[in-house]
Amino acid sequence: MDSLKDLFNFDQREKIALIILGVLIIVVFLGNLSISFLHRKITYNQVLTDSISLRLLTETNAQKQGFKPADSIQSFHMAEADKHEANIRLTPFPFNPNTLTEDEWKKIGLSERQIRTIRNYLSKGGKFYKKEDLAKIYTISKEEFSILEPFIDIPSVDSTKVDLQSTKQRLKDPTSNAGNVLTAQKITLNEADSLTLLTISELTPWLVHRILRYRQELGGFAKIEQLTEIKGFEKSLLETIIPRLTMDTLNIDPLPINRLSFKELLKHPYFEFEHTKAVINYREKRGFIKDVEKLMIVSGLDQSTINKLKPYIRFD
């Protein structure tokens, strides 16, 4: 026992040495923590700087061409991955979306699906009258449009200008023949913008917003009855406004179910997480899904959902 006590019996100089050693260990430990924290901060700030520099370059190029940037530069957040990816992928130049060729769309950076949707729209008689019309193409995201918007150059045509205030006034005036004609016109559900839908008095602004958002998520409506799938849209409302609506499904661009990523497939309202996971797992292990019947077996989707999905999928 005495030998054990002697082992821990230090003189004054040894005690001072031990204290100094302990202080040095604490300093080294705290120094390593500070370096690690500083490294993470520098890495994050570098990502922040790179993203803002890229956006500055895009808007500077737009200003050189005489265009006004779509919006001011906003702070970059790690959650804005889609916007950051679009900034890297898109390389826009001044263009008229009504006359751009397929190769020119590819040079800008649009995908084949996006280009096909635009070409289908134009081939069916559609036309872009103003910049915002391109945002109605459901395959183009808000982030992508914000990058493309400064470069859109559509020549103004006097005959296409509409006095919105005058139109609204005539709609409100029950004695106006023009107002009665406009009110009686059918509205194409897959082409209408928010102002057009608001001419239906039963639709509130927030409900119109939900209609347009759901239309984009679906890839276009296949049936008018799909409106009742929107939260807050009652069947009684549909029965009231259905005489004002008409359908055109020509612009629906089916999803290539054998080529979409997990994230892309999950975005569609009819695919839940477990269905999407089952499809991706089957493709990775067994190859392409060949038809609707196989999709139903693989995904676990019920017959009702499969029927609703048919207009939105293809198996190439």
pLDDT in tens, 112-134: 888 988 888 888 778 888 888 88
Amino acid 120: pLDDT = 84
Q: What is the 3-state secondary structure (H, E, C) of 283-301?
A: HHHHCCCCCHHHHHHHHCC
Give me the architecture of the 162-246 domain, per CATH.
Orthogonal Bundle (1.10)
Domain residue extents for the chain: 13-64, 82-151, 162-246, 255-314
Which is higher by pLDDT, 294 or 250? 294
The model's pTM is: 0.47
Amino acid 173: pLDDT = 53
What is the secondary structure of 11-30 as a DSSP string?
-HHHHHHHHHHHHHHHHHHH
pLDDT in tens, 22-77: 787 887 777 666 665 554 544 444 544 444 454 554 454 545 444 444 444 444 45
pLDDT in tens, 138-157: 888 888 888 888 889 887 64
